Structure 1
């Protein structure tokens, strides 16, 4: 990955918008949509990957189809914000597959997590392990999703 960040032009931005919807879109289709040659689109996508703008090509799975019926947003307050406490919490959250997203935030709490599990029994056991039995966690608050109105990996490309 390159250390310098390239300037994105309107073609790059249009390509990124298309790829966020479906990374399997054929390059010839992208080329037609943005009025470039297929070779130019291929070069631009490679440059966007090299620059780290395109970080991964992934499949977004439907949690319900996999039996993952509980989605919780969890606010976590650590006992302190010392670097080693925060680093340890990050390591635990990164190593936990049920933690789908993890944000270190400001505003009175330490982390916001998105957790997906099969049921409340599993969720309760997970909260005990991650939060209740973790001496670095002062408190946590769970918000259980009733419906996934919008969930995905898209970023608004200006």
Structure 2
């Protein structure tokens, strides 16, 4: 599906998404038109889903990150759908993942400090529907958070 040129374009763009099309083409040694066509083809194929900014939450004053492992009360047929729909409405939830196994859902929560986290937890998280059990994991350090693929 991807050839060597596609991989070179993706590797370079993953390393620096701020490159202009001309800079990207120059970095991989092809014409701007060829690079643009390849990128458009990969976007059309869903390989490239979009370009986004990475925001450093700590620089904006969010010093606390908590991972909540949640087990749902699955006696209700729509427990997953209703829980996830409600969790999406909590602004401080930055990630929602679902799992097979004892834990059904993992939420990542950011907060300015522990008082702010306690407010979010008591008034926004504990009011989410169908929660049977919650385990909180306080993040101490992020060792690796790589979005780039090894191409």
Query: TM-score, structure 2 length as denominator?
Result: 0.87
1:55-94 paired onto structure 2 within 5 Å: 55-80=49-74, 84-94=78-88
1:33-87 CA-to-partner distances (Å, cap 9, x unmatched) read 3232211111111122222222221111111110000011111111117551111
1:33-112 aligned within 5 A:
33-80=27-74, 84-112=78-106
Deviation >3 Å, runs of 4+: none
TM-score of the superposed pair, with normalisation by structure 1: 0.83
Aligned to 2:115: 121
RMSD over aligned CA atoms reads 2.0
> How far does residue 28 in structure 1 lie from its aligned partner after superposition?
2.5
Between the aligned partners of 1:104 and 1:81, the Cα distance in structure 2 is 17
- The match for 1:4 is none
Q: Are 2:86 and 2:128, in contact at CA under 8 Å, matched by a contact in 1? A: no
Do the aligned residues in 1 keep the contact of 2:82 with 2:129 (CA within 8 Å)?
A: no
1:139 paired residue among 112, 133, 136: 133
| Structure 1 unaligned residues grouped into runs of 5+ | 1-6
Q: Deviations over 1:109-146 (max 9, x none)?
A: 11112211111122122222344333400111111111
Structure 2 alignment gaps of length 5 or more: none
Distance 2:135 2:35 in 1: 46
Deviation track 1:5-50 (CA, whole Å, cap 9, x = no partner) reads xx22222222222222322112223223323221111111112222
What secondary structure sits across from 1:60 in the alignment?
Answer: coil
